Amino acid sequence: NSHQSPVHFDLVLIPSLLVLHPSALPILFQEEMSNKEATEGEAVTLHCKLSKSAPVEWRKGNKVLKPSEKYKIEQEGPFAELVIRDLDLADA
């Protein structure tokens, strides 16, 4: 009669590390656009800074603004800028 001893297994828990990829983080305003005052017929520059580079869409109400003689739109990394030329009351 051979007597077998029981086999013991130890359960070891290894903590895991969760690393969030930068692309998974939400995009936030680091510097929000502020109100500007300007004179009719002149130009005004509006700008903002995001927490990371991402496409920016400028709107006036529901209308998406596109680059034109009236609007100059530039972006470099997280910095976005809108220049409105030849201001009139409708641009407020």
Residue 4 has pLDDT above 90, yes or no: no
Give dist(CA 84, CA 91) in Å, integer.
8
Give dist(CA 11, CA 88) in Å, integer.
73
Domain ranges of the chain: 29-91
Q: Is this prediction's pTM over 0.85? A: no
Domain 29-91 homologous superfamily, CATH: Immunoglobulins (2.60.40.10)
CB atoms within 10 A of CB 90: 6
The pairing of beta strand 44-50 with beta strand 59-60: unpaired
Give 82: exposed, middle or buried? Use CB within 10 Å, 0-12, 13-18, 19+. Answer: buried
Report residue 61 as tokens. Answer: 């109400």
pLDDT in tens, 7-66: 656 666 666 666 666 666 788 888 877 888 888 999 999 989 999 888 889 998 889 999
